[in-house]
Amino acid sequence: MPLRISNRRLLSTALAFAFCVHAAAQVSADKPIRVVIVGLVHDHARGFIGPLSKNTNVQLVGISEPDTALASHYETEFHLDHKLFYTDMDKMLDQLHPDAVLVYTDILDHRKVIEAAAKRGINAMVEKPLATTMADALAIRAAAREHHVQVLVNYETTWYASNAEAIREADSGKLGQIRRVVVHDGHEGPKEIGVSPTFLSWLTDPEKNGAGAIFDFGCYGADLMTVLMHGETPVSVTAVALTDKPDIYPRVDDDATIVVRYPKAEAVLQPSWDWTFARKDMEVYGTQGLVITEAADHVRARYVPEKTESEIPVPPLTGGYQNSLDYLAAVLRGQIKPDHDLSSLDTNMIVMQILTAARESAKTGRTIALQPLPQ
């Protein structure tokens, strides 16, 4: 089934390829890429420091965190060399000039870190979502283009073989035309699952996080839907946000429903900090079948004229797509072109349109119309 590619998509593809070539030319394929961590206030950093020490594609050369008590905690917990630590990000970037920064600040600070890295010709990978506002997202895109660097966004679900298989099933044409996608993401709540006080303090701050569950978990479904729709900008977004636990989350939403409309399809995103248990799953309905993902490695499907669903094989991810660190290395070496994939900047600009429209819709009670961003 051939893809219809617009002039806008061809232009962004050419730009993404140019950025990739420029950045990859500076990184040798026969040695690890040199990375630094900026910020330790995001608990996801804990899940990366261990793998960083074992991944032969990546070498950790520095960590910037102004909170010396927090830095000391990480140093002790992970048995890190004290010489890795800096309190001043700019000093670290100037002294080490790494290939990439891994950003574990609050979301509000993404723009500041990316712009500081970009003007030094340093690539960036940030934890989802890209930013808290469209103004910041546009400034990030401008910095990436001006300085010819990669800006990538890391989502846990990008490295789920189940999602990769669902996207393959859709792209193969077996599903027919996609009509509806339903995505459930979230858990019992950040406080309930025991995130650190530092993480909780900004995760529940509407300025530093952008919103509550809408931004924290709505971004996963927006990301997947944007790739399933081949980078098409939605027609409109309508959202309802709730605070079911005001005694715990008085300043932000903890549950939301987001309806993302396209000319012939819609996505229903259900981000929540109020699920009975953690979940990240997706249902993709087409005119010729359906695919349902369960966690990282299970997929069920049913196609016309089958009468029942059946589990289908899910091959493991390979070729640089198995985790964020291998992916980052492959992109900077020119082995992967992040063109409209789940981590790419172009995809995540549309994700930001969806998230900011959802926030506005929930606040105003109106459906928010969207237009493609100017290139």
**What confidence tens digit (pLDDT) does each residue in 220-258 have?**
999 999 999 999 999 999 999 999 999 999 999 999 999
Whether 1 maps to a domain, the answer reads no
If asked whether residues 168 and 149 sit together in one domain, one would say no
Structure tokens at 167: 């996207």
What was the pLDDT predicted at 53? 84
Domain match, 202 and 279 both: yes
Same domain, 125 and 72: yes
Residue 274 has pLDDT above 50, yes or no: yes
Which of 7-11, 42-46, 145-149, 287-291 is the least confident region?
Answer: 7-11
C-alpha to C-alpha distance for 299 and 281, rounded to whole angstroms: 10
HEC-encoded secondary structure of 310-330: EECCCCCCCCCCCCHHHHHHH
Distances (CA, A) of 343 to 130, 155, 224, 226, 284: 10, 7, 10, 11, 20
Q: Would 203 be classed as within a structural domain?
A: yes
φ and ψ of 178, to 5 deg: -65, 130
Instruction: Clarify whether residues 83 and 133 are in a common domain.
Output: yes
191 shares its domain with 56: no
Q: Considering the domain boundaries, does residue 63 fall inside one? A: yes
Give the containing element (helix H, strand E) for 96: helix 89-96
Do 113 and 233 sit in the same domain of this protein?
no
Tokens of 85: 């630590």
- Percentage of the chain with pLDDT > 90? 90
Both tokens of 335, joined, read: 């082995």
Q: Which residue has the tokens 């966004």?
A: 153
Residue 275 predicted with pLDDT over 50: yes
∠ CA 94-98-104, nearest 5°, is 95
Residue 374 lies in a domain: no
Contact 129, 157 (CB under 8 A): no
- Tokens representing 239? 């959202």
Residue 128's closest CA among 342, 368, 369, 370? 342
Cα distances (Å, whole numbers) of residue 225 to 222, 316, 327, 351: 5, 22, 21, 9
Q: Verify that 224 and 296 share a domain, yes or no.
A: yes
- Looking at the structure, tell me whether residues 238 and 151 fall in a common domain: no
- Residue 375: inside a domain, yes or no? no
pLDDT at residue 26 in the model = 54
pLDDT tier at 18, thresholds 50, 70, 90 = very low
Identify the pLDDT of residue 50: 85
CATH number of the domain within which 274 lies: 3.30.360.10
Region 165-176 average pLDDT: 97
Question: pLDDT value at position 4?
Answer: 37
Q: HSE, CB side, 13 Å, CA atoms: give it for residue 194.
A: 0
Note whether 193 and 308 are same-domain residues.
yes
137 shares a domain with 32: yes
Q: Is residue 2 part of a domain?
A: no
- Mean pLDDT (whole number) for 103-109: 98
- pLDDT > 60? residue 12: no
Q: Is residue 320 part of a domain?
A: no
The H-or-E segment that residue 99 falls in is none
pLDDT bucket at 29, cuts 50 / 70 / 90: confident
Query: 149 is in which domain, residue-wise?
Result: 7-156+326-341
For residues 9-22, give the mean pLDDT: 45
What is the pLDDT, as a whole number, of residue 9? 46
The chain-wide mean pLDDT, for the chain, equals 93
343, 320 Cβ separation under 8 angstroms: no
For the chain, how far is it from start to end, CA to CA, in angstroms? Answer: 27
- CA torsion sign, 76 to 82 to 84 to 87? positive
CATH number reported for the structural domain that contains residue 68 in this entry = 3.40.50.720
Give tens-digit pLDDT for 44-95.
Answer: 999 889 888 889 999 999 999 999 999 999 999 999 999 999 999 999 999 9
Same domain, 14 and 108: yes
pLDDT at 14 over 70: no
Mean pLDDT within 325-353: 97
> What are the two backbone dihedrals, phi and then psi, of residue 159, each rounded to the nearest 5 degrees?
-100, 20
The rounded Cα 267 to chain-centroid distance in angstroms is: 18
What does the block give as tokens for 57? 């594609």
Look at 113 and 4; give whichever has higher pLDDT.
Answer: 113
Q: Write the CA distances from 290 to 224, 226, 280, 283, integer angstroms.
A: 16, 18, 17, 7
Number of domains the chain is built from: 2
pLDDT at 96: 98
Q: Are residues 203 and 70 in the same domain?
A: no
